[in-house]
Structure 1
Amino acid sequence: MEALILSCGTGGGHNSAGKAVAEELKRRNHNAVMLNPYNLRSKKLAGKINNVYIALAQKAPRFFGAVYGAGQLYRKLPFRSPVYFINRLMVSALGEYLAENHFDIIIMTHLFPAEIITNMRNSGIAVPKTMFIGTDYTCIPFTEETDCDVYVIPSAELSDDYTKKGIAKEKLCPLGIPVLGRFSESENRDEVRQKLGLDLNKKYILVSGGSMGGGQIKKAIKTLSSVIADSENTELITICGNNKKLFDKLKNADYPKVTVLGFTENMAEYMKGADLFVTKPGGLSSTEAAVSKVPILHTAAIPGCETRNAEFFSKNGMSRLCKASKRELSDAIKIINDEKACLDMTENQRRKINSNAAADICDLAERLTKCEN
């Protein structure tokens, strides 16, 4: 099979999902090319789109939420969104690329490429089989105006959310959100901790704001640091992702019992070695944590799809939700010292989250293209 995976860097989750599918396809001896379609026109353009999104999410989450809310209102109008028409400008560039390169299927982990493909189809341009993969636990605005052969959604519980927005039920495939294989690999916690140089006898709270280092992570670190001050055997590990300013601020703050790290390739290991994961409710990072079977405490979400992610996880007993206040973050200590609460949470994660989503998605791709591994 020749697969083209289209994604964008507006947050790390879309690219991570794409990489997970590419990893599994290559393991099956298929060819997979992963591409940001805007690079076909200009790398500068692709970078600008990514950076504007990330800056909004990091520095102006309320405004970001207002834009998301406007999208929810706009989708009720009887005509296509500006997102659709803006992506029409990419039709010629992607069309030329597809004319020069053969693919059996196009897999999209981001709305924007799906809008480009839809413009192509509506213009009468032939495209291969198409698959859209949702990376949040909700039907995000304008998904319904795209035209893909199948829509992979995170859970069957979300089917009504998609069909009510106008997506045909027969196109929905509730296979889950794909994560890289190392997150689903079973590993002994003590061995993981030894690999990371962590103390086997301590409890560790892992704190992250996703690849962007977003959410109220700085406030959470300050509060948690004071919460664990009197706990001799509890420490924090903070992952700042690509947010260098946050990394520098936390390093200079010199909070006691807090280890500050930037971007790491060992996120799966840190999750598996932790007793609790405190994070904003990104769809991909929350799924990675659930697959890693670590209890989750969700801090205040960036308004929009992350709010829906937090609701889905907390409703299903896979996480607890707090708003980063000292009283609520004190729950972190209660959770890691409550063995039953931790076991209940990880058992709910096991039941509700498909740890084999990447494999199931590749099975579906093989059926659509009739290309066996």
Structure 2
Amino acid sequence: MTKNILIISSNYTGHGHKSITESLCEVFSENNDVNIHVVDGFSLGGNTLLKIGKSYGPITRKSQSLWELVWNMSTLKPVLVNEFIELIIKDHLMKLIEEVHPDLILSVHPNFNGSVINVLEENKIKIPFITLIADLVSIYPLWAEPRADYTISPTTEAKDKCMEFGVPEEKIKVLGFPVRSRFNNHGEHSDYKTDNPLKCLIMSGGEGVGNMRKIAEVLLNNFNCIVRIIAGRNTRLKNSLNKSLSEKYGDKVEIYGFMENIQELMFSSDIAFTRGSPNVMMESIACNTPLIITGALPGQEEGNPKFAEDYNLAAVCTDVKKMKDTIEDLLKNNAEKLNEIKRSQMNYNNPNAARDIANFILSVVKND
């Protein structure tokens, strides 16, 4: 019998939730006995909640201190956040459940864990509910919902935080971070040789935040390199970078907007500079592209730089004034440290994470 899975995701709060959903749908599409219905959770709250979701990009681009305030306030009373969201999504959610008849609900956004379970419980609806955590270390309390049938965690660090927040250990499955298949580097490993120009990729998530221009100037003024910059959806930043860099450095620099085929640039880069966005980090690791992490959003990304350092998946440099020294350190002795990061990434990467997660979800829905 065909099973229906409802995935509650998000299209506007960064690109990570959408990317994770796509990675799972790739696997689900191979199974003819499963129908997948994906909904943007914020759309269930009409214009009010959708505006909140769409505000993520402008806030994280223009005021990280405001984002930190929003994060801290909502972590103090997660129950109130759940109740607020429940209030404005319940009518549309109930209508969606009547239309889709889901045999299982999967949430890949923290705002739709406790809130959706509240709606199900109040209407005495019993549908298996699974949470898939989209962060690595510093997880939001809303991710940790003890009433969920299972919580899928990408790391043991996130699992430990869930347990601190009260989720029973037997309900947590550590299955890795799902990455879209096109990011997995299936080619043979090759070390970087310092007699070649250093191919650099500067990016900062789908919203295009970070001090990209100054990083590019450090690279172009001090190293034999080619610099490519992805400004994401931030068109103002793209135009500014074109004006300030392209005119001065010519074909040594290339500026891109939001890209669907970003993996092609990752594969062909020797090093990437990025904010500590979990999705961008894990996709870079899958591509076997060494990272320099240049910063992290307050809240959900705070622990990511240290996490990456602990596993030797990246170097961390949050001060542009120290960027030249950081790169020189990676490149000395014929790029010994840079190549060690490449090897650590190959050992850490799990190209089967999306498949493992999808198969686990399918086992739950088929056994229910």
Give TM-score, length-normalised by structure 2.
0.88
- The answer to whether the 8 Å contact 1:322/1:329 transfers is no
Q: Find out whether 1:236 has 2:227 as its counterpart.
A: yes
* 1:127–1:187 Cα change, 3 Å: farther
DSSP-derived class of the 1:81 partner: helix
Q: Find out whether 1:184 has 2:184 as its counterpart.
A: yes
* 1:122–1:294 Cα change, 3 Å: same
Please tell me the residue identity of whatever aligns with 1:364.
F
**Deviating more after overlay: 154-163 vs 222-231:** 222-231
Equivalent residue for 2:38, pick from 34, 40, 46: 34
- The answer to whether the 8 Å contact 2:17/2:109 transfers is yes
| Residue number in structure 1 paired with 2:104 | 105
DSSP-derived class of the 1:307 partner: coil
| Residue number in structure 2 paired with 1:140 | 140
Equivalent residue for 1:279, pick from 255, 263, 274: 274
Q: Find out whether 1:331 has 2:326 as its counterpart.
A: yes
Identity of aligned residues (%): 23
Equivalents in 1 of 2:129, 2:322: separation in Å?
47
DSSP-derived class of the 1:277 partner: strand
- The answer to whether the 8 Å contact 2:159/2:172 transfers is yes
Equivalent residue for 1:48, pick from 47, 51, 64: 51
Listed one character per residue, the Cα deviations across residues 2-54 of structure 1 (whole Å, up to 9, x for unaligned) are 22211112111111111111111113333222111332453x44541222111
DSSP-derived class of the 2:147 partner: coil
| Residue number in structure 1 paired with 2:340 | 344
- The answer to whether the 8 Å contact 1:149/1:171 transfers is yes
Equivalents in 2 of 1:109, 1:298: separation in Å?
24
- The answer to whether the 8 Å contact 2:23/2:179 transfers is yes
- The answer to whether the 8 Å contact 1:62/1:302 transfers is no
Q: Quote how far apart the aligned CAs of 1:68 are.
A: 1.9
Please tell me the residue identity of whatever aligns with 1:310.
P
DSSP-derived class of the 2:301 partner: helix
Equivalents in 1 of 2:315, 2:230: separation in Å?
20
Equivalents in 1 of 2:312, 2:219: separation in Å?
24
- Alignment of structure 1 residues 81-92 onto 2, 5 Å: 81-92=80-91
| Number of residue-to-residue matches in the alignment | 354
- The answer to whether the 8 Å contact 2:155/2:175 transfers is yes
Q: Quote how far apart the aligned CAs of 1:124 are.
A: 3.6
Q: Quote how far apart the aligned CAs of 1:362 are.
A: 0.9
| Residue number in structure 2 paired with 1:295 | 290
- The answer to whether the 8 Å contact 2:7/2:105 transfers is yes
DSSP-derived class of the 1:204 partner: strand
Equivalents in 1 of 2:16, 2:125: separation in Å?
29
Please tell me the residue identity of whatever aligns with 1:225.
E
- The answer to whether the 8 Å contact 1:278/1:297 transfers is yes
Equivalents in 2 of 1:38, 1:160: separation in Å?
28
Return 5+ residue gaps in structure 1 as ranges: 191-199
Listed one character per residue, the Cα deviations across residues 179-217 of structure 1 (whole Å, up to 9, x for unaligned) are 111011414699xxxxxxxxx953211110100112x23
| Residue number in structure 2 paired with 1:193 | none
Q: Quote how far apart the aligned CAs of 1:107 are.
A: 1.5
Return 5+ residue gaps in structure 2 as ranges: none
Listed one character per residue, the Cα deviations across residues 155-187 of structure 1 (whole Å, up to 9, x for unaligned) are 124322110111111111111121111011414
Listed one character per residue, the Cα deviations across residues 39-75 of structure 1 (whole Å, up to 9, x for unaligned) are 2453x44541222111111100122123223344446
Q: Find out whether 1:354 has 2:357 as its counterpart.
A: no
- Alignment of structure 1 residues 1-373 onto 2, 5 Å: 1-8=3-10, 9-29=12-32, 30-42=34-46, 44-45=47-48, 47-74=50-77, 80-138=79-137, 139-145=139-145, 147-187=147-187, 201-214=196-209, 216-218=210-212, 221-232=213-224, 234-255=225-246, 256=249, 257-336=252-331, 338-370=334-366
- Aligned-CA RMSD value: 2.4
Please tell me the residue identity of whatever aligns with 2:93.
L
* 1:258–1:85 Cα change, 3 Å: same
